[in-house]
Amino acid sequence: MIKKFIDKLLGKSGAAGAGGKNRFGKRQEVPASVHGIDPQLVDERARNVVTTLQGAGYEAYVVGGAVRDLLLGLRPKDFDVATNATPEQVKSLFRRAFIIGRRFRIVHVVYGRGREHEVIEVSTFRAYMDSAGAEQVAGNERTSKGELAGMKHAVDASGRVLRDNVWGPQEEDAARRDFSVNAMYYDPASQIVVDYHNGIKDAKKLTLRMIGDPATRYREDPVRIIRAIRFSAKLAALGFSLEPKTAAPLVDCSRLLADVPQSRLFDEMLKLLQTGHAVATVAQLRRLGLATGIYPLLDVIVERADQPFVKAALQDTDRRVGEGKPVAPSFLLACVLWADVRDGWAQRIEGRHGQRPQSSFPALQDAIDDVFNARIGDVSGRGKLAADMREIWMMQPRFEKRSGATPYSLVEQARFRAAFDFMRLRADVGEVSEAIAEWWQEFSSSSDEIRRQDLLDQVRDEQHKRTRQRAPARTAAPAAAPANGDAEQALPPDGELAATAPRKRRRRRKPRTGGEAGSSIAAE
């Protein structure tokens, strides 16, 4: 007992856990003959970052989920690198490198430009620091920004880590990572995997296991709850499952997310939906009892995931990610919230609930504002994401007009493709005519002006044909009037009255020399 007390005073209490077990694990160097990683799957730019750091005298490894995917024979989409070089030392070695973050300071090494650019994220090995050895602040990450500015390692009253920028050895860096399968280090030069927490064994067992006590780790950083959901959903197709001890505290610990900044939760929600496993994520949230309570907008997505339109959007997002195509959060969120916009738009036009009826365009604008205020609020809801969502929604009525200059101006809009894809999904679920979707598909993809004019003429001819088909009913109505003089029974529908009157006035002014087609064009 006295020895433990002295060790604690000297800062040695973190070296071993209950029963004398080393919390940092035992270093195992696993050769290629055992782990079987194919070096051809390693991105050349990640290899270059590791080689450059090692050439400068530093330790450097590919780390995290990339190593896990390599062990499974998959080609990772993202590569992270861990090193004992500080962020400033890393930055000095690369022409295009940027230090980012406050909570965790890391370096982004950038290759390429524009949409083809790739970022290799480089982090410095961090020391394992428990709450007892950290500086404490009274507020949270949002309310204590000024106090946190000069701190390297800080926690709030609940034990949640607000700053973690104390550098340490690799064994401690491995211990502070979340899952064992994400805590391995791969050296592309020697092809050795360094494993401290039996990550290779868990990968073979298809198990997601939290390093250390799960409840404590979730309390240190509640966002680990969302990461547990994301990784389990991503790896479910490969047969992975959460270890029971790792899954058990998730529901009880989810209340800790209330203290996480809303902007961070919003970003984590987007990661859940945009990594190619949105459908699996919804299923996992329901399975784990977390369908509600993580983030209000995510609650809406889970609730509506079985609706045909939202389900189609989630599936389409997964498909695009799987094909290596870009996805935008604005599109998926616009799909999820479309029912709110559509219903609010109709209510304003019809003047329901005591409202004064509005014309279509301002009614749609006001309905969109209502949805932003109710569903998104101030978190990313007034920036580019909101602007893109608004454009997608505002373009929908314009697809109904396929005459004059409207089609030409619409296809030139920056967000036309997103708005068209949105309308295409609406057609897939029967909300829009399939013929309209196919017409816009051909018009937008055609570079032949003659073909485009043919498409416009086709719409005009169809409109004229419908007008001619209605014409006999309008002219025959007076003759078919009942003998009792009840003229109302013989009147055409209200929508045709306006078209009927002008035709009668024209016939009184001049002889019919232009034929039915000429009359129809004027009526149009």
* 3-class SS of residue 161: strand
Q: In which element (H, E) is residue 121 found? A: strand 118-124
Alpha helices in 289-383 (DSSP H): 296-304, 308-322, 329-336, 338-350, 360-371
Q: What are phi and psi of 137, to 5 degrees?
A: -125, 155
| Paired tokens of 285 | 């949230």
Q: Is residue 230 within 8 Å of 281, Cβ to Cβ?
A: yes
Distance CA 217, CA 116 (A): 36
> What's the farthest any 2 CA atoms get from each other in the chain?
116
| Paired tokens of 435 | 């013929």
List, by residue number, the catalytic residues: 78, 80, 178
Distance CA 454, CA 482 (A): 45
Q: Is residue 64 within 8 Å of 182, Cβ to Cβ?
A: yes
Distance CA 156, CA 161 (A): 7
For β-strands 135-136 and 153-155, DSSP reports them as: parallel
Distance CA 468, CA 390 (A): 38
Q: What is the DSSP letter of 306?
A: T
* 3-class SS of residue 118: strand
Report the candidate in 294, 224, 233, 290 with the shortest Cα–Cα distance to residue 265.
Answer: 294
> What string of H, E and C letters represents the secondary structure of 77-100?
CCCEEEECCCHHHHHHCCCCEEEE
